[in-house]
Structure 1
Amino acid sequence: MSLRATARIVAAPDGSLPVLESDGPLALRRTRAPGPYTRVTVVGAMSAPLGGDRLLLEAEVRDGARLLVDSAAATVALPGVDSAPATYDLRLTVGEGAELRWLPEQLVSAEGSELRMRTTVELAEGARLVLREEQILGRHGERPGTLATRLTVRRAGRPLLDQELGYGPGAPGGWDGPAVLGGHRATGQLLVVDPAFLAEGGERGEPVESRLLGEHAVLVPLAGPAALVTAVAPDALALRRALDEGLELLAPK
């Protein structure tokens, strides 16, 4: 039987969490944080998402607050009794002078699963964002499930990034070809939005320049105070190394 679950996080500038609501498989725990961040770890309370599940996780970072969200383990999309696709929506809001670091573990698309994942981010003009997405297409020795993802980011009400990706047997043809994954089974991206990219002079005031990171990753500037690292890799470890390199360049701790 499929389930519906909604979990919510609200972070305040004094380091408190006025709202920390878990639901179903989305168990939220406040954990010890590095540096100035309030930290919340998502702990999987049960297997999810399964076919037909409807999951929603909302996070609001109020003006001046600093929030780090990670997860205790990878999220594994699995087939279920319900033949309908599962959905997993993330709705993130970051206020003026606030910062969100969204750094979960990988999403694994298991054979036979079908998941539609949508991430929507609303940023104030002076907000900062570090967002990592990693998809592993199939567990060891198995084919991937069907995975469709969409990431939409708006800054000060204006579009900053809107992209949609599809993988697996239900995706349009060519997703595994040389122009897309080239046979790799791990893919991901790192998005960093920081008003400091627009500053003149200073250590982080220089414009972000395009560059290769290893053999299968690239860092590119976006039209705004933002940069995107996109990578493919043979496995999860190699993918994380590439994205960590980009993280150290763009948003060191």
Structure 2
Amino acid sequence: MIQVSSDQSPNPADACPSGGPRGDGWRARLELGFAAGPDRTVLRHRRHYGPLRVQRTFHPEGDPCHSYLLHPPGGVVGGDTIEIDVESATGAHALVTTPAAGKFYRSAGETARQHQRFRVGDGAALEWLPALNILHAGARVALHSRFDIAPGGRLLAWDLLGLGRPGSGDHFEHGSCDLALDVVAGERRLLGERVHLEGGAALLQAPWGLQGRRYLATLIASPGTGEMLDALRGQAAGEAPDPLMGCTLLAGGATADAREGGLLVCRWHAHSGEALWEAMIRAWFLLRPLVMGRPASAPRIWST
């Protein structure tokens, strides 16, 4: 089953990968702190525990600092916990992506957990653009993301989810996923959402549900505007019917003061992971100049 609540009314998988103690699961934590330097953003704070790493930083477009986060190479199983904490401090501009999909494997009963906390400082910018998270049949997963945006902060972020690997015969017949998404601007709660996905549930295939589309994505942008909303809808109208896309503007709509933080929320459902990824890239190329005030400069890793 799928359950959504919002403050805004809104084969290979059978193998247990190696790469860490599995008795009670392992814990991995990564902290990244970006700060504004004299002429460009720098990664001032980096701390990791367990199999989470970040490669060296890149500056392909001047000030913004691009970083590639490396997930555990063996994948994640029940009982494992991943914690990611990213801060883009006052005046900084950070872009964080991942070079490969995250993989969550079947569980013997325990839940695999991934907690993500992002803070955007006063006048700062953060782009969180990870690759797909793939949930194999039998996975039990809880994914929680929280974004805190200070006045004048700018955010462009997405998360992509694949329920099984249909092309390989994995249709996520069993397993579960609990998703939580919170967005807070100053003292104002813009979005609080909870979703429960159950493997094998009728609505994964039903015409009134996901219609067999096992690849899902959510994109958020702040400050959001009516111009962004119209541009995205116009772009989607000229594209193929897969993936399906819908978007809305929360917290004041098109007249929301940017300092208050209008929030653009967009969803995609697709039959193909590749089609979903390509749709997200097109959306990012469209939105980045409007949200960040600079042209899109794709991370190099996206071309490999």
Q: Calculate the TM-score normalised by the size of structure 2.
A: 0.74
Secondary structure class of the residue paired with 1:105? coil
Are residue 230 (structure 1) and residue 267 (structure 2) matched? Answer: yes
Partner residue in 1 for 2:195:
165
Partner residue in 2 for 1:211:
233
The 2-side partners of 1:170 and 1:150 are apart by 21
Offset at residue 5 of structure 1 (A): 1.9
The 2-side partners of 1:186 and 1:106 are apart by 9
Change (3 A) 1:84 1:207: closer
2:137·2:199 contact (CA, 8 Å) conserved in 1?
no
Q: Calculate the TM-score normalised by the size of structure 1.
A: 0.88
Amino acid at match of 1:222: L
Alignment counterpart, residue 135 of structure 1, candidates 137, 161, 164: 161
How do 1:59-78 residues align onto structure 2 when only pairs under 5 Å count? 59-78=86-105
1:11·1:61 contact (CA, 8 Å) conserved in 2?
yes
Partner residue in 2 for 1:251:
288
Structure with greater proportional helix content:
2
Partner residue in 2 for 1:240:
277
Could you report, residue by residue, the CA deviation over 1:168-218 in whole angstroms, capped at 9, with x for unpaired residues?
3287x63543333111111102111127x3xxxxxxx84743726242112
Amino acid at match of 2:77: L
Which stretches in structure 2 are left out of the alignment for 5+ residues?
A: 1-21, 252-260, 290-295, 297-304
Amino acid at match of 1:78: Y
Change (3 A) 1:105 1:207: closer
Partner residue in 1 for 2:57:
31
Partner residue in 2 for 1:9:
32
Which stretch of structure 1 is more off in the superposition, 210-219 or 138-147?
A: 210-219
Are residue 109 (structure 1) and residue 135 (structure 2) matched? Answer: yes
2:33·2:88 contact (CA, 8 Å) conserved in 1?
yes
Which stretches in structure 1 are left out of the alignment for 5+ residues?
A: 198-204
Q: Which has the larger radius of gyration?
A: 2
Partner residue in 2 for 1:190:
219
Offset at residue 17 of structure 1 (A): 1.7
Are residue 152 (structure 1) and residue 178 (structure 2) matched? Answer: no
Partner residue in 1 for 2:123:
97
CA RMSD of aligned residues (A): 2.1
Secondary structure class of the residue paired with 1:49? coil
Could you report, residue by residue, the CA deviation over 1:40-84 in whole angstroms, capped at 9, with x for unpaired residues?
21113432321101111101111100001001210000125x521
Secondary structure class of the residue paired with 2:286? helix
The higher relative CO (CA closer than 8 Å, separation ≥ 6) is in 2
Are residue 178 (structure 1) and residue 201 (structure 2) matched? Answer: no
